[in-house]
Amino acid sequence: MTKGRAVVAMSGGVDSSVAAALMVDAGYDVTGIMLKLWRGDEINYSSGCCNLGAAEDARRVADVLGIPFYVLNFAERFDDTVVKNFRDEYLSGRTPNPCVSCNQWIKFDALLDRAKTLGADILATGHYARVLERDGAFRLMRGIDAPKDQSYVLWMLSRQQLASCRFPVGEMTKTETRRLAAQLGLRTARKPDSQEICFVRDGNFDAYASEHLGAVAEPGPVLDIAGNVVGEHRGIGRYTIGQRRGVGVSLGMPVFVTSIDAESNSIVVGSQADLEVAGFVAAGASFTGSAPADGAEVFVQHRAHGEVHEATVRGCGRGRFEVRYRSPVAAVAPGQSAALYSGDDPDELLGGGVIDATVPARAAV
């Protein structure tokens, strides 16, 4: 007798391959599903996912495991949500994270709904994170392999969704995952991890910006903190807040991009101190359980695999929250995701949101 039916999202990589194997071993009736997110030919041959070769790898793994495998076409939904949001955010001078958007609108929304219609009780993926049940409630925890932890890109999951999600490789290290894949004879055992944005062909963002983001590929002024023109940029879409290399401006000190203004097609540069922020306001907030109380101590992460920072949170309501760091933090950009972890248990993800505006450290003094 099986534990129930499970759908495993298979990307053609080693992590989702082993996730499928572990669900089979755990006694589930498993079906593998890959999402076709591209239109026509493969979008990014070098990304390692989202291409026809990856689909063939996933199909071969499913054959070895003896499970059915299907490819579902979600290309239109992907274009209308993830790709559109990515372009809109860049056109607004913000820094989006398409992996977060894909999890929010595709994997744990559309695919989870489809899994339910197929009669599945569980949706499993190859993310390095963990779902634990404590006191009758489901909690989202970091994966035990800290360098590979992917809980940051899962901040949008609700407790109801967590009840239907499993991340089997979250209890393993990446080395253990590859070792098990090799032992099982899976062809993905030595496959490199995917790196680039799947819909940016060959990882060439400059070419993508020129083709799809014309307005942010146009040259414009580089300003200093006082508003003086000190140079010309190559298009705001080619810069991120905190960037130092490639700015092309010499002010007699290390120069960083401190802000981007899409309306005036300009970027502002300054010193390390000008880059620091005291906090931020986030929108699109989501929490795995009850929202933190005003003044609650949290750890904040605003980059995948980035550092965590001590902070307090307040104003959690109407889809927003405010964060104030204990000490100023550099390179925090509107559009980035901010994941909140418990001050009592730094491994527990409480939720998060998208940074809407920052508070410069100098202005907060």
Closest to 355 (Cα-Cα) out of 288, 281, 260 = 281
Instruction: List the beta bridge partners of residue 132.
Output: 139
Would you say residue 187 has pLDDT above 90? yes
Would you say residue 334 has pLDDT above 60? yes
Q: Mean pLDDT lowest for which of 221-225, 248-252, 324-328?
A: 248-252
For position 263, which CATH number holds?
Answer: 2.30.30.280
106 and 197 in a common domain:
yes
**3 state SS for 196-218:** CCCCCHHHCHHHHHHHHCHHHCC
Residue 343 falls inside a structural domain = no
Asked which of 251, 270, 289 is the last residue of a domain, the reply is 270
- Active site includes 316? no
Would you say residue 84 has pLDDT above 60? yes
Tell me, what's the pLDDT at 53? 80
Tell me, what's the pLDDT at 44? 46
- Read off the pLDDT band of 208 (50, 70, 90): confident
Residue 19 falls inside a structural domain = yes
What is the share, in percent, of the chain residues with pLDDT greater than 90?
A: 74
Residue 106 falls inside a structural domain = yes
180 and 109 in a common domain:
yes
Tell me the C-alpha distance between 325 and 93, whole Å: 24
The label of the residue with tokens 């306001």 reads: 281
For position 77, which CATH number holds?
Answer: 3.40.50.620
Residue 12 falls inside a structural domain = yes
For residue 223, with 0-12 CB atoms within 10 Å meaning exposed, 13-18 middle and 19 or more buried, which class applies? buried
Residue 278 falls inside a structural domain = no
235 and 190 in a common domain:
no
Domain residue limits at 15 = 5-127+167-201
Q: Mean pLDDT lowest for which of 164-173, 209-218, 325-334, 351-360?
A: 209-218
Question: Concatenated DSSP letters for 128-148?
Answer: SEEEEEETTEEEEEE-SSGGG
Tell me, what's the pLDDT at 43? 52
- Read off the pLDDT band of 365 (50, 70, 90): low
Strand residue runs (E) in 37-103? 69-73
9 and 98 in a common domain:
yes
189 and 62 in a common domain:
yes
Contacts 24+ apart (CB under 8 A), 237-240: 237/90, 237/209, 237/213, 238/205, 238/206, 238/209, 239/267, 240/95, 240/333
Choosing from 99, 102, 165, 316, the catalytic residue is 102
120 and 18 in a common domain:
yes
Each residue of 17-44: pLDDT tens digit? 999 999 999 999 999 999 988 776 555 4
Residue 295 falls inside a structural domain = no
263 and 176 in a common domain:
no
224 and 189 in a common domain:
no
Say if residues 42 and 50 touch (Cβ distance below 8 Å): yes
Q: Rounded to the nearest 5 degrees, what angle is found at the Cα of 37, between the Cα atoms of 319 and 49? A: 105
Tell me the C-alpha distance between 113 and 262, whole Å: 37
Tell me the C-alpha distance between 92 and 224, whole Å: 20
Q: How many domains does the chain have?
A: 2
Tell me, what's the pLDDT at 276? 94
Q: Compute CA distances 149 → 129, 171, 348, whole Å.
A: 6, 10, 12
41 and 186 in a common domain:
yes
Asked which of 270, 299, 314 is the last residue of a domain, the reply is 270
Each residue of 137-163: pLDDT tens digit? 899 999 999 999 999 999 999 999 999
64 and 182 in a common domain:
yes
57 and 176 in a common domain:
yes
DSSP 10: -
Residue 327 falls inside a structural domain = no
Residue 57 falls inside a structural domain = yes
- Mean per-residue pLDDT over the chain, rounded: 91
188 and 55 in a common domain:
yes
Tokens of 239: 């810069």
Name the pTM for this structure: 0.93
Phi, psi (5° rounding) for residue 291? -70, 145
